[in-house]
Structure 1
Amino acid sequence: MKKLHVFMLKSFSGPFVATFFISMFVLLMQMLWRYIDELVGKGLDFSVIAELLFYFSVSLIPMALPLAVLLSSIMTFGTLGENYELIALKSAGISLYRIMYPLIVFIIFLTIFAFFFSNNILPVANLKAGSLLYDIKRHKPELSFKEGVFTNDLEGYSIKIDKINKETGMMYNMLIYNHKTVPGNYEVTRADSGIMVSNPQDNVMELVLFHGRTYTDEGMKATNRRTFPFRRLKFDKQSLLIDLPGNELKRTDEDMFRSAIMLNLNQLKYTIDSLQKIVNDRKETDATRILSTGFEKSKVANVKKDSIFRVETRDWVVDVDSLFAEFDPEEQQRAVASGLEYARNVKATTQNSMSYTLKQEEQIRKNRIEWHKKFTLSFACFIFFFIGAPLGGIIRKGGLGMPVVVSVLLFIIYYVISMIGERSAREAVLSVWFGAWMSSIILLPLGVLLTYKSVTDSEVLNGEAYSNFIKKITGFFKRKKNG
């Protein structure tokens, strides 16, 4: 290995490692702040918190790598430019391409590693982090009440509280759905206020409710009756005892939490194919059902998939109005009511079927986006290097000053474009591949242009030219002000 290659790798490796851990720390703090309410006051062991932070850290590596590459490349070439080492190398007849060559090889291997990591390790980390976070949320759920939000962490109950007094612990305008006995909304309790009393030793939480009503639909219990009783209970004070889990954190089966971000390429492909088959089968079933509703009376000939239906016409046409006029008023009323009810049922069934199909298609798009993200996150390392290296030559500043500002600005632009593209793809505004790759498509030409101009020593990348231009403008306005 040439001395130049060793020199460049040493110059790059130090800033890369430092900026990687700095990026990881910043992203981890942001993630921790996001879930801080779920962790505080739960009495969790240090090992549980450390395990969660470890999974969070692993899941953030694909996001930290591109940022570290961008920041370290700007710092490396900025330091070389600031110390005039870059000029010395060029004056010795060494092109910028030869200077960048060892780093390009390193970035290629880093991109391959990032893809391998995103496909094999990241899904496992996301799965374990999601499972552990769910278990933490369900641990001591009496601490997870939030204003204006339904809390489903208490097994068998769904509770909504409009306002909570932080000082007294009094809760106001409470709505409680009891799913303990019968699944469904068959027992509902509304109370003006209430307070929570828990006994950790007995693993029981007591909700003391004041001034409310309990509504119970006992129709589910009366299966053999033609009438369905309904019971309403008014109370001034009522206690509701809810069983709590023990102090030890209970772990849930991880297979319950598998989603798109927790699958690798093969699993995503299998999931997409399965969902697509479900959608196709549902569309065929709906088409057959709609044609058999009775609204289409004509025979349909030569029906083919994805073809235009060709309907045979008869020589005679039934005059519905004259036929309807033959009925007496009572029969006409019954016919109209029956027809309206039938039409409403068909409409409701069709709308439900369309809603189901749209949800399945949205899931397909989400899985396809995650499939593409396995490649886009790793490819971002490659793009950011070819943006950061030329920019470092322009800035000619090392350290964590100007490089950090430029890197964060570029990364925010990349992140915003990625979010816009992914959201547009999920909502079917853009095609999935274009939405997932939109940030790369926009930033890749910028990296190619900057690298080309830097290799050819174009004036576009002359930092002193920009500095002199800014000085001329500020000097012009100063003379105007003084003169």
Structure 2
Amino acid sequence: MKKIDQFLFKSFIGPFVITFFIALFILVMQFLWKYVDELVGKGLEIHVLVKLLFYHSMRLVPLALPLAVLLASIMTFGNLGEYYELTAMKSAGISLFRIMRGLIITAVVLSIFAFVFSNEVLPWANLKSGSLLYDIKHQKPTFSLREGIFNNSFDGFSIRAEEKDEDGQTLKDIMIYDHSSRKGNDLVITAKSGYMYQTSDRSAIIFKLFDGHQYREIPPKTLKDNSFEHYRTRFESWEKVFDLSEFEFSRVDEKFFKDLHQMLDIVELTKAIDTISIERSRIAVKLDKNTESVILAERYKLAVDTIINKVGSNDVVSLLRTVDPKKRKSIFEKANFKAKNMKSFAGMAGRQLERKNRDLVVHWIEWHRKFTLSIACLVLFFIGAPLGSIIRKGGLGWPFFWSIIFFIIFHVTSISGEKMAEEMTVSPFFGMWMSTFILFPVGAFLTYKAANDSNLFEARAYRTMFTFVNRVFGKLSKRIETTN
């Protein structure tokens, strides 16, 4: 039996490793396709891109693992069925569950690994990847001057060149708007020609202009004065140095991201959930205390006989008529003021409660995610292994087809459940476990069918079933005709 377990493990581990890295590669390519606009034109160094891809690939490991387990299990048992090795084992009196036992243990180990990875490594990868991607998004594009288009890359300047030679340096009909004073375009430089070049240490770019003018407007010194002084200065040669340090890639301190729910492990998420729940309870208690009714009647007591004699009905207006007119105005003003305050406070508290509820939901979603992706490895194994033994096809044909079908079902239901949980349509528990609730019965059904040598995917079985159904309906129709 140990030889069978070793044989199955060797048959499983090869397709698993290959499938895992292929799935990871596809998911990373999807990430690149999504953020290609954020990465291109930023002048990023190779090591920055390599870091980003490495960190993000770590984030995708829990998603690639279930797909690899599913496809590898279908391929392993499909090959066993195709070459009648599975039939030989069953003929020797070995049950399907005993055949699967070694790989079940492997799937459990992979599930435990997925949980540990999601809890220990994934928060670190989320922090590194998220902070690095944030810095890249806020990185300025490299300076590139295009013909006839204003370039605003340098803070406080707009630069345009009508023509640019093939050497990439010689410029013609240049215009520079200098609004670095934050008072509008009070300085404009024009030149017939010029060229630009970088310093030897690439720390600055220099524009050297020829045969041009400077136009400057000086604002009035007083608000009453509406006159603007205008100066025009002609130059033969003029240089402007622009610092390139603002284009250098800089990092934001990671501590600004470390408290986000994606960066927390199980223990930290549990503490955060408790803290948010306590804060939510405090807001609710404070709301109850501040919206208690303030009974002004205690301040303006009247005798019972006076109320009975003067109040013609039970409405508030009739009751207020019994109050002194001077005090009545005060009651109206205080009641109106109190009602407005209560409305304002209730609205503010309601918005705070809504934010806390959403924070609580996203933390619970992240808490459940630690478990759902690891359990998915086990559930998809119990779909893939019996499915492979039923279809009895190895290779990458049918196994790949069925693995894609079931993985799409798993992924779509997972995403849909998470979205519904985020929108508070369903509870975080149900939303995050919805895919498991759907696929677990499928796995149990397929395992039962495979254990009983079901011909679930054989056309002959369905032809027999349809023949039986037609025969039954034929007999029923004849009886109905005879009765009529």
Common topology (TM > 0.5): yes
Structure 1 residues 66-106: Cα deviation after superposition (integer angstroms, max 9, x where no partner): 01111111111112222222222222222211211110111
The match for 1:322 is 321
Structure 2 distance, partners of 1:58, 1:107, is 20
Distance apart, 1:419 and its partner CA? 2.0
Is 1:272 the counterpart of 2:240 in the alignment?
no
Partner of 1:261: 262
Count of paired positions: 379
Q: CA offset at residue 430 of structure 1?
A: 2.0
Query: What does residue 228 of structure 2 align with?
Result: none
Q: CA offset at residue 290 of structure 1?
A: 1.6
Counterpart of 1:35, as a letter, is Y
| Alpha carbons 1:139, 1:245 under 8 Å: kept | no
**AA partner of residue 374 (structure 2):** S
Find the residue that maps to 1:428 and give its secondary structure. Answer: coil
Structure 1 stretch displaced more, 11-20 or 431-440 = 431-440
* Contact kept? 2:118, 2:370, Cα under 8 Å: yes
1:408 aligned partner, one-letter code: I
Counterparts of 1:328-347 in structure 2, within 5 Å, are: 340=336, 342-347=338-343
Counterpart Cα distance in 2 of 1:449 and 1:380: 16
Matched, 1:360 2:359: no
TM-score, structure 1 normalization: 0.69
Structure 2 counterpart of 1:326, one-letter code? P
Is the Cα–Cα contact under 8 Å of residues 365 and 428 in structure 2 kept in the other structure? Answer: yes
Alignment equivalent of 1:382, drawn from 362, 378, 381: 378
Cα distance in 2 for partners of 1:13, 1:465 equals 34
Match of 2:288 in 1: 287
Distance 1:18 1:61 in 2: 14
1:348 aligned to 2:349?
Answer: no
* Mapped contact 2:43–2:141 kept (Cα < 8 A): no
- The 5 Å alignment of 1:158-197 reads none
Taking structure 2 as the reference length, what is the TM-score of the superposition?
Answer: 0.69
Alignment of 1:379-458 (within 5 A): 379-458=375-454
Equivalent residue number for residue 129 of structure 1: 129
Deviates more, 1:116-125 or 1:89-98: 89-98
Percentage of pairs with the same residue: 45
Query: Cα–Cα, structure 1 residues 372 and 351, in superposed 2: closer, same or farther, change >3 Å?
Result: same
1:203/1:245 contact within 8 Å kept = no
- Paired letter, 2:251: R
Give the aligned partner of residue 463 of structure 1: 458
Greater radius of gyration (CA): 2
SS at match of 1:140: coil
1:10 corresponds to which residue? 10
Instruction: Report the Cα offset of residue 463 of structure 1.
Output: 3.2
Q: Residue type of the partner of 1:250?
A: S
Give the match's secondary structure for 2:246: coil
What SS class does the counterpart of residue 139 from structure 1 fall into? coil
Preserved CA contact (<8 Å) 1:62 1:377: yes
**Deviation at 1:470?**
11
Residue 291 of structure 1 aligns to a residue in which SS? coil
Query: Displaced runs of 4+ in structure 1, greater than 4 A?
Result: 153-156, 199-204, 242-245, 296-299, 314-320, 334-342, 466-472
Aligned residues of 2:62 and 2:373 also touching (Cα < 8 A): yes
Amino acid at match of 2:250: K
Counterpart of 1:287 in structure 2: which amino acid? D
Q: What is the SS of the residue equivalent to 1:381?
A: helix
Any idea what SS the aligned residue of 2:291 has? helix
Q: Which runs of 5+ in 2 are unaligned?
A: 144-152, 157-179, 185-195, 207-222, 224-241, 308-313, 468-484
Contact 2:383/2:442, CA 8 A, preserved across alignment: yes
How far is the alpha carbon of 1:202 from its aligned partner? 5.2
Match of 1:62 in 2: 62
Aligned-residue Cα RMSD (Å) equals 4.1
**1:273 Cα deviation (Å)?**
0.9
Gaps of 5+ in 1: 144-152, 157-179, 182-186, 190-196, 205-228, 230-241, 300-313, 473-483
Partner of 1:168: none
Quick check: 2:28–2:57 contact (8 Å CA) kept in 1?
Answer: yes
Distance 1:21 1:62, change over 3 A: same
Does the aligned pair in 2 maintain the 1:141–1:154 contact within 8 Å?
Answer: no
Distance 1:123 1:370 in 2: 10
1:444 is displaced (CA, Å) by: 0.9
Structure 1 Cα separation of the partners of residues 183 and 391 of structure 2: 65
